[in-house]
Chain A
Amino acid sequence: MAIFDYAPAPESRDLARLKPHYGIFIDGAFRDGTGEAIKTINPATEEPLAEVAEAGVSDVDDAVRAARRAYDNVWGSMPGRERAKYLYRIARAIQERGRELAVLESLDNGKPIKESRDTDIPLAAAHFFYYAGWADKLGYAGFGPNPQPLGVAGQVIPWNFPLLMAAWKIAPALAAGNTVVLKPAETTPLTALVLAEIIAECDLPPGVVNILAGGPEVGQALTEHPGIDKVAFTGSTEVGKAIQRALAGTGRRLSLELGGKAANIIFEDAPIDQAVEGIVNGIFFNQGHVCCAGSRLLVQESIADEVLPALQRRLGTLRMGDPLDKNTDIGAINSAVQLARIRELADSGDDEGASRWTAPCDIPDRGFWFPPTIFTGVSQANRIAREEIFGPVLSVLTFRTPSEAVEKANNTPYGLSAGIWSEKGSRILWTAQRLRAGVVWANTFNRFDPASPFGGYKESGFGREGGRHGLEAYLAY
């Protein structure tokens, strides 16, 4: 059928240097956890990749104690210029092992290698490099002449950008002089544990960074631990609310980066071809496992008949399959649990009267897959227009006037991100000003940078990660 066929171009799995067993990292050393070890699997094949030790509650205690000792004895009082050098060293080491980390990330997470290679890993290194430079300049960051670290930070991250989220959490915390206990997601612990290895090789003093694999109960033990001073959480709004509730009245600091249901607004004067690329990137990047995904397409009524066929044509060219293949556009859904959730929400779209269109993709026999899907005829009241699906499912709504677009875009308890497509500068800025969202991409989507603050309005959380703003969450002033 296709005019051009692609020959498979798989990256070698051996580059990942998979080990049969991974421990937890406390006080500068790897060890077995007191929890039950789990097998982490490749979501593209359902084959086990490695056995990973899980932390138990007593390990959390040990890690917090180690972090406290490191804070009191070494890190909290170390001159900023010395802390900076450790962070630069980590940034360089991530770059050096970038190919290994990219392959490992794609194996454990299911994301296409071109994304882990070109986005996740380089951005993780850049984040350390960026915050390294802040470590000895905190007095210039706008939080008073002599801002102080908070102490020990407990950090819990999701499975959608495993190494990148670890970098987003660890780099600003360390730059500001805090020590950390980090828990990666249960389904994607491997790159964080290699980061622990890198950190050990960089001779970071023991206890400054502690990394514990584990499930929700380990996360809860960490976020509610009385020995920590600050909690940083990225994940679902539901869990974020529970953490905010648990921390009420404790005096411990909190920053939350939660869910989203972003509107991607296409005005009738938009460059259609670019907008279609932006829509695809907005919702199908990383299989839609993105809290800031452009999951609600708001297209102006006058061009809906032009945009939708163009979008469908473009989706027909996406290649779904082996995440390690450099040609792959759409990788695997991260877990069976997530696949079930996506299916359930997509089915609710059928039940509530929306029309489903599925991209013509061959679905591999094994693994967790969900082809790019578009729902048209969606009402604002439908679950697929209100709830975060966290998968490759786009809900299409239309609008007639810019005011209606803004009203519909803001009609959600979330407020993480939004997109605007138009050739008219004043309309873009007018719209950007009115969108209640923390990140607004105009004529682009899903761009990230260590210098750019990221975070939400309303129930998408509070606090920012990235840029000067990202230091605020880790400083007392």
Chain B
Amino acid sequence: MTVRKTYKLYIGGAFPRSESGRVYPVTSSSGDLLAQAAQASRKDVRDAVVAARGAFAGWSGATAYNRGQVIYRIAEMLEGRRDQFAAEVAAAEGLGTAAAEGIVDASVDRLVWYAGWTDKYAQITGGANPVSGPYINYSVPEPSGVIGVLAPQQSSLLGLISVVAPVIAMGNTCVVVSSFARPLPAISLAEALGTSDLPGGVVNVLSGSAAELAPWLAAHRDVNGIDITGAAPEGRANLLRSASDTVKRTYSPAGGRADGPGEEDWATEPALRRMAAFVETKTVWHPLGI
């Protein structure tokens, strides 16, 4: 007899069931039952936002070098569980072993890529500004705060990491809604995060329906930004409308249009755009004098 895993949520560094008690069946691409995953509710979203807000001061205040090492550590954990993730990706996405292993390898590479950005982004986007007067003036990028992230529905691991890593690399904390049909790699990733020195609450993972949960994230007054990558195209505009009530920063495929193309190709090297979406530029002035 094998010991089967219970797939739960990841909130504030702990693995609770949904407070709603709901679960939903997750099947492989061929229709076999894989697990009963927790189905997160509105209340779980609120709890996760509280956890993310609580973790923000510590994570945004950590040195960039430290954040880089932690994200690199996530890559190490992923590499160590390569076979497990490959099997879960293969089952979720209907891929052969070699293809699934390629996805895991690319996911590791993506984490390593973003780990290196933590202490370089400020140098390429910030700096001294030559103002016309006796002042020292500099600009630095800072994280926007708590970000809601709707992970892509198709790419269950590489896509997920590609949307989460830039957000936390910049010092934000986040509440992630996983793919609805393919949530198991996300929950296993949460387990890797839990052993990666990532402080609890920096990433919170909710398995469940983006259509149900996203409106609460988009309207939440203590969420500073939302990435709606995983929203259904016809739902994008409503989420962006809701986000306007608190002037949220938004990242949306196709600029939020419903007629945009489908899910992006996660294999290509990302641009800076996903990091730029959730940073603020702070400019500090001080006079020169004796």
Contacts and interface: CB of A to CB of B under 8 A. Distances in A.
Contact of B283 (A142, A245, A439, A458): A439
Interface string A444-477: 1001010111110111111010010100100001
B129 A467 contact: yes
A449 B131 contact: yes
A441 B286 CA distance: 6
Contacts of B243: 244, 248
B219 to A, nearest CB: 12
Contacts of B63: none
Contacts of A451: 129-132, 137
Interface stretch (A250-258, A308-316, A355-363): A250-258
B247 A440 contact: no
Contact of A438 (B131, B239, B257, B282): B282
B14 interface: no
B284 interface: yes
B135 A444 contact: yes
B129 A241 contact: no
A70 interface: no
Contacts of A441: 284-285
A437 interface: yes
B129 A452 contact: yes
Interface in B118-163: 124-125, 129-133, 135, 137, 139, 144-145
A438 B287 contact: no
B287 to A, nearest CB: 5
B129 A449 contact: yes
Contacts of B239: 248
Contacts of A460: 247
B249 interface: yes
Contacts of B282: 432, 437-440, 457
Of B257, B271, B282, most buried by chain A (CB within 10 Å of CB) is: B282
A240 interface: yes
Contacts of B256: 248-251
Residue among A237, A241, A459, A462 with the most chain B CB within 10 A? A462
A258 B247 CA distance: 10
B44 to A, nearest CB: 25
A59 B276 CA distance: 36
A454 to B, nearest CB: 7
Contacts of B139: 452-453, 467, 469
Nearest to B234: A249
A452 B131 contact: yes
Contacts of A462: 247, 249, 280
Contacts of A242: 244
B62 interface: no
A251 B254 contact: yes
Interface string B237-256: 11111011111010000111
Contact of A251 (B129, B130, B133, B255): B255
B244 A244 contact: yes
B281 interface: yes
A444 B285 contact: yes
A428 interface: yes
B283 A248 contact: no
Contact of A240 (B144, B247, B255, B286): B247
A192 interface: no
Contacts of A412: none
B136 to A, nearest CB: 9
A250 B219 CA distance: 19
A452 B237 CA distance: 34
A126 interface: yes
A442 interface: yes
A411 interface: no
Contacts of B249: 462
Nearest to A461: B247
A380 interface: no
Interface in B221-248: 224, 236-241, 243-247
B52 to A, nearest CB: 16
A244 B248 CA distance: 9
A250 B244 contact: no
A442 B281 contact: no
Residue among A142, A251, A258 with the highest chain B CB neighbour number at 10 A: A251
B99 interface: no
Given A447-B285, A452-B137, A249 B258 contact: yes
Contacts of B254: 251
Contact of A457 (B237, B238, B257, B280): B280
Contact of A458 (B236, B247, B285, B286): B247
Contacts of A245: 241, 244-245
Q: What 10 A-B pairs are tightest by C-beta distance, nearest first?
A: A249-B237, A251-B255, A248-B240, A244-B244, A449-B131, A245-B244, A248-B241, A251-B257, A459-B247, A442-B286
Given A449-B137, A467-B283, 12 more contacts: A144-B271, A244-B243, A249-B238, A413-B246, A439-B283, A440-B284, A442-B284, A443-B286, A460-B247, A461-B247, A462-B280, A464-B281
13 contacts: A249-B240, A438-B280, A439-B283, A442-B284, A443-B287, A447-B133, A449-B129, A453-B139, A453-B283, A454-B283, A458-B247, A459-B247, A467-B283
